[in-house]
Amino acid sequence: MASVGVVTRVLLGKNVVNRVAAANTGFVKFYSTGPAYENIKVEVVGAKKNVGLIQLNRPKALNALCGPLFVEVGQAVKDFETDDKIAAIVITGNEKAFAAGADIKEMQNNTFSGNTKKGFLQDIEDYISNCGKPVIAAVNGFALGGGCELAMLCDIIYAGEKAKFGQPEINLGTIPGIGGTQRLPRYVGKSKAMEIVLTGNFIDAHEAERMGLVSRVFPVDKLLEETIKLAERIGTHSPLIVKMAKAAVNQAYETTLKSGLQFEKAYFYGTFATEDRKEGMTAFVEKRPPNFKNE
């Protein structure tokens, strides 16, 4: 895991406390309480400690996405979203697996009526898709089935050069269930999406980059560092304007070109009601760096 400016959640009896440890001073400060996590690790990283890092942590099951893991990811995303100090969120796994899909052992005996009555694998989509802050996937190893879908729920995907993506549900007699049939064609087009979904074949990181599923590929051991750098770069901008820019790009996936352009125009005009737009343009004219206030 990244070593710069670490926040760990430590168990204190039944409660968990976020412990902020400044790497250089050894200073430890408790700043908030939250739930105990069993399936993920959560840290605050980056030179300015403004990047929320969520590491999926079921290595023995290749980070298979069991129900409790989804709940924990949702909670961690929510925590970071509501923390003003956090500019962007990174979701990662380990070198062998980002996530090898929904937990097959957990759902093996599920039934149609049970899935329909209780709902299954829905909440995570809402938590990540609706998050107002950028969420970036750093994918090393397998990103299969629900793992590939989790990466696609994020705003940007960076991959390690040994990453493997796929929607192998067809091998199990089922189909993708967290958006794979809908998001994958939007990333890579119909023919490639059909090939991936209907064969269950894996694609490697470079192929995924060529297809537009992944925006950059890095050596395995550089992936997390580069992804955190990306999050930090985004974190130099106004969080308010980043949120508006993200919402505007997302409209491209939700609506017609005409409505999307109207939405963009409304948001573009809207930036002129913000202090940060004024500051950004004033700083440019005065030839100095902007000092954004998130206002």
Contacts with ligand CAA, residue ranges (CB under 6 A): 61-62, 64, 100-105, 121, 142, 144-146, 149, 168-169, 172, 176-178, 180
Least gap, CB of 145 to ligand CAA (angstroms)? 3
Of residues 183 and 277, the one with the C-beta less far from ligand CAA: 183
Residue 205 annotated as catalytic: no
User: And the tokens for 123?
Assistant: 């909440």
How many angstroms separate the CA atoms of 45 and 160, rounded?
19
Q: Do residues 289 and 279 make contact, with C-beta atoms less than 8 angstroms apart?
A: no
SS3 284: helix
SS3 9: strand
In the chain, count H helices and then E strands: 12, 13
Give the active site residue among 146, 179, 180, 235: 146
Of residues 197 and 248, the one with the C-beta less far from ligand CAA: 197
Of residues 179 and 290, the one with the C-beta less far from ligand CAA: 179
Give the active site residue among 149, 163, 166, 231: 149
> For residue 279, with 0-12 CB atoms within 10 Å meaning exposed, 13-18 middle and 19 or more buried, which class applies?
middle
Least gap, CB of 143 to ligand CAA (angstroms)? 10
Least gap, CB of 210 to ligand CAA (angstroms)? 22
CB atoms within 10 A of CB 165: 27
Give the active site residue among 102, 205, 208, 245: 102
CA nearest 169: which of 191, 189, 188, 184? Answer: 184
User: And the tokens for 222?
Assistant: 């550089």
CA nearest 92: which of 133, 57, 126? Answer: 57
- Tell me the Cα Rg of the chain: 20
Of residues 35 and 59, the one with the C-beta less far from ligand CAA: 59
Residue 149 annotated as catalytic: yes
Least gap, CB of 75 to ligand CAA (angstroms)? 19
How many angstroms separate the CA atoms of 133 and 146, rounded?
22
Least gap, CB of 94 to ligand CAA (angstroms)? 12
* Alpha carbon 185 to chain centroid, angstroms: 19
How many angstroms separate the CA atoms of 230 and 184, rounded?
23
Residue 102 annotated as catalytic: yes
Of residues 33 and 110, the one with the C-beta less far from ligand CAA: 110
The backbone torsions φ and ψ at residue 154, rounded to the nearest 5 degrees and listed phi first, read -75, 165
Residue 151 annotated as catalytic: no
The backbone torsions φ and ψ at residue 104, rounded to the nearest 5 degrees and listed phi first, read -65, -35
Per DSSP, what are the bridge partners of residue 99?
Answer: 143
Of residues 34 and 200, the one with the C-beta less far from ligand CAA: 200
Catalytic residues: 102, 146, 149, 169
